[in-house]
Each structure stands twice: as C-alpha cells, then as structure tokens.
Amino acid sequence: MSNSVERWDIFEVKLNGPSEGNPFVDVQVAARFSYKHREVVVDGFYDGDGVYKVRFMPDTVGEWRYETVSNVPALNGKTGSFTCTEPSAGNHGPVHVHNTYHFAYADGAPHISVGTTCYVWNHQGDELEELTLETLRSAPFNKMRMCIFPKHYRFNANEPPHFAYERKADGSWDFKRFNPEFWRHLEKRVGQLRDLGIEADLILFHPYDRWGFADMGAENDDFYLRYAVARLASYRNVWWSMANEYDLMESKTMADWDRFFRVVQESDPYQHLRSIHNCRGFYDHNKPWVTHQSVQHSDLEAVRDWRETYRKPVVVDECKYEGNIDMGWGNISAQEMVHRFWQGTVGGGYVGHGETYLHPEDILWWAKGGKLHGESPERIAFLRKLLEENAPHGLDPLPPVGKWGWVRRDRARSGDSYYLFYFGIAQPGRFEFELPEDKKYKLDIIDPWGMTITPVEGTYSGQFMLDNLPSKPYHAVQARMVE
C-alpha cells in the first residue's frame, strides 16, 4: 500500500484473513485513524478470497496513523502510518450544504448542482457504460443519479452482468453473502465519475424490482446499508439517496425509512449528503438526518415554498424528462425542460435533467445512458456557465410581493452584486424593475433558448421601466453591479 495519499482521496488498508465460514457475517474489522488529537473510526469490509479492506478519506494534510480493530486476531492490532498531501487540481473534496440553501465543496469552492438521471447505466456492460462516460465528458452535468440495484421497468428488460449477492444452491439470493465482483465494478464507475468531476448520487433502494432486492427484510436491509457505506463512503463524490420514489415501496414503513437514514448517518464517518426521493408525497425533510430535499415535481414555481418550509437546499431531481415516450413524465419538449431549469433557478433551487427519447434498442438515457439526443443539455450548459460566472454561491429568491403589492415569482439575487429576472411564459415588451437605489447596474437581455446575451445601454438603479424587451416568452434580464 502507498504511504501517501492526497487530501480527500482514498487510503486503503488491505489485510489477509480467514475465508472459511461466512466472513461477511463472522468477521468484524475496522480501523482507528488518528491525526494529532483527532481520531476517526472507519468500518472495513470483506472483499472475498480472504481479503479484508478498510478505506479512509483523510481531510487534513499531515501525518496520520492507524490501528486495526477486529474480532479475529490475525486482523487485530495492525498499525501503520501515511502522509496526507495537498489535493491535486480539480480535487475540492466532498460536497456539503452551504449557507442553508446551497452547496459547496469541502475546500470552500461553490457547487452549482446541475444533475442528470441515468438510473442503471452501471448495469449495462462495459461497451455501453464506456460510451456513457464519453458522453458525460462533454455534457454539462456535475451530478448523476444512479441505482445500486438493477431496475425492472419499461425499456429495462435486460439482465445485468453482475448482481450484488451470491446465489444459494436453490438459485435464491444469499442476502448474507455479497458478490465482490459486483461491488468492485460499482466502485470503478463511481471513481470514473469522480475523475470527471461528477457527484454520484447513489440510490440505495427503489421499487422497480423483479429480483427481490426491494423486499429483503429489515435485518438484510440494514446489513446491506452498512456494507455499502463501508465500501463507498471513502469516495469523495458520493451522495446517499435512500430511495427513488420511496412512497411506492409498500413493504417499507416510515419507521424503516427513518431507520435507513440513521444507519447511513451513523455508519458514514464523512457525513456525505443524504436525501430521499418521492413520487406522490414528501418525506418530512425537517428530520435532522435529511441534508437536502430531493424532489419529484413538475411545478417549479413551488421551489421557494419548499425552501421556506424546510430551510434546506431544494434539488428538483425529477421535473419530468425531455423525450417522446408515451408516458406523461417522459415527453416534455426540450424548451419546456429549459424553462423548468430557469424557473427552479430563480426560485433558489437546483434542477435535474433527464432524457427519454425512443431508441430501437431501448437505450434511453434516463435508464441506460449511451448518447444524449435532446436539445436541452447545451442550453443547460449555458445556464450553468451564467451562474458560475455571476452567482457561484447560488441565487436566493426575492420576496414574492413587489413594491406595489403584486405577487412576483420571477426574481432572484446573489447578494447585491447580481440580480436575475426570468419571465417564463410571459412576454412583456416593457417591464418595471426594482434594484438597490444606492448602487449602479449594467443590464443584459438573455435568450435562454438562443443562448444569447444582449447588453442594454447605460446603467440603472432603483425603480425603473425598461421599454425595449423582446415581446417573446422565455426571456430573462440580468443586472450586474458596476464596481
């Protein structure tokens, strides 16, 4: 093993131990990592063939020491040390909540979440999975929603190459014996996303199942969660999603979901982000183990309301998908997808993309990855660039009631330095703006679909009317403070 690792990367302790019996159940292994006065306890896991591993993500530069702890003498009391070095370019650490409603990396760099959904891209075999990674290389997305377990649903009829568990002699799953080959493959894909600067939003459970993974029983569910966290938590780009459409899983109770959150929270030394995704009704995001809201909803004007209700970041991971399938959630136009991104943005939230265009081999991006065929991604890239250049720490909506008493949900700002007004389906040729009276601003007219930014002559402050706006829907105006 290497005796040095960069900050927020993975240091791995690898040990040889017993392989008889069932090591997944019979053997416990962990390690205490210490830096000066600090100590971090990290659970290890069995990786098959008599090999045990403990993975650690150091967050402080300097000399670290460790000592293993196990109920097996051959694995107990092993000591060592390593040096944590400065992070390389592009390594900003894990993402955490910042300023109540937004996100930032551990080093303070802002994270503007621009996600996509690709549920089971990691279950499609190397050829298609490598094509997905190549597509992501030039796509605007910095977060990927993906399932640990395979999915059974329309356009998802193929068997995956590997499963998370070994089979018993009768062909049923042995929920007490994991298949290390499956987990190594998953780790490889999570690591490749990390290297592309993409957060892996790992969905731990989902209802679309024909193999029995959605109903393993409470004891096996918890056993699975602890193993998943032990193997994957050391990847800095991991987010935990308890479920996709949790409220469709009839075998789970609310107490189960609460317990899952607690198991993950207690098992994860790094406290990665934690959420749960709904279909019909919201989970109570006020519960302390929820770090941010993962929402399925098509009314993006409600983002500011969810912010105020739960006082946590809002990520609308599913606002329906750009596509042409015969299901209402998968056939909105590219322009409607872009519109919803802008609506959610001025509401102070973050919006996720998905694509469901029919394909002769059922390779739909939302499920299997492959190539992107829609027109929204390049417009989403335009919005992401606009935000990163002008409001990198996120936008906060202005009060919905304007100066003259009318309700307006079209305005957001980043402090006093930047204001964004989005008109949506409205097409005002003239519009009355309100900006701080003691500061001056340059204005630009933005066409989100055409991806153009047209400067407006002069500087502006206070309350004023702009008469030369395009009489077309889906336009915006930005105001940037003049230094």
Domain count, the chain: 3
* Alpha-carbon 190 to chain mean position: 12
pLDDT higher than 60, residue 340: yes
Both 135 and 219 in a single domain?
Answer: yes
pLDDT at res. 428: 87
Residues 413 and 331 in one domain: no
450 DSSP β-pair partners? none
Q: Up-side HSE of residue 222: CA atoms within 13 Å toward CB?
A: 11
Per-residue pLDDT averaged across 434-453, rounded?
97
**Same-domain status, 232 and 261:** yes
Q: Two tokens at 223?
A: 């056993």
pLDDT tens-digit series, residues 359-406: 999 999 999 999 999 999 999 999 999 999 999 999 999 987 555 555
pLDDT of 407 strictly over 70: no
pLDDT at 195 exceeding the cut of 70: yes
Asked if residue 358 and residue 238 are part of one domain, the reply reads: yes
What is the tens place of the pLDDT at every residue in 16-71? 999 999 999 999 999 999 999 999 999 999 999 999 999 999 999 999 999 999 99
338 part of a folded domain: yes
List beta partners, residue 478: 420, 444
Q: Treating both helix axes as pointing N-terminal to C-terminal, what angle do 254-267 and 218-232 enclose, rounded to 10 degrees? A: 30
Q: Which residues pair with 199 in a beta bridge?
A: 143
**Cα separations in angstroms, 218 against 259, 372, 393, 467:** 10, 38, 40, 63
* Whether residues 305 and 188 fall in one domain: yes
Tokens linked to 143: 């977060």
| Residue 204 belongs to a domain | yes
Domain holding 209: CATH number?
3.20.20.80
Can you read off the two tokens belonging to residue 134?
A: 């190549």
Same domain for 26 and 145?
no
- b/e string for 160-184 if b means 16 or more Cβ within 10 A? bebbbbbeeeeeebebebbbbebbe
Pair 61, 176 in one domain: no
Q: Are residues 19 and 146 part of one domain?
A: no
- CATH number, domain at 433? 2.60.40.3950
Q: Residue 468: its pLDDT value, please?
A: 86
Worst-scoring range by mean pLDDT, 129-143, 232-246, 398-412?
398-412
Where residue 263 falls (left for φ over 0; alpha for ψ -120 to 50; beta otherwise) is alpha
Q: Are 88 and 5 in contact (CB under 8 A)?
A: no
Q: Is the pLDDT of residue 282 over 70?
A: yes
Q: Is 356 a domain residue? A: yes
Q: Which of 345, 361, 390 is the last residue of a domain?
A: 390
Query: CA-CA distance, 354 to 82, in Å (whole number)?
Result: 42
Look up tokens 């770090």; give the residue: 291
| Residues 348, 252 share a domain | yes
- For strands 199-205 and 143-147, give the pairing: parallel
- Report if residue 90 sits inside a domain: no
Mean pLDDT computed over every residue of the chain: 96
456-480 mean pLDDT: 94
Give the domain CATH number at 48.
Answer: 2.60.40.10
Point out the domain boundary residue: 50, 66, 85.
Answer: 85
* Within a domain: 325: yes
pLDDT band per the 50, 70, 90 thresholds, residue 102: very high
Q: Are residues 76 and 224 in the same domain?
A: no
Query: Has residue 359 been placed in a domain?
Result: yes
Same domain? For 219 and 104 the reply is: yes
pLDDT at 251: 95
Instruction: Quote the domain boundaries for residue 61.
Output: 4-85
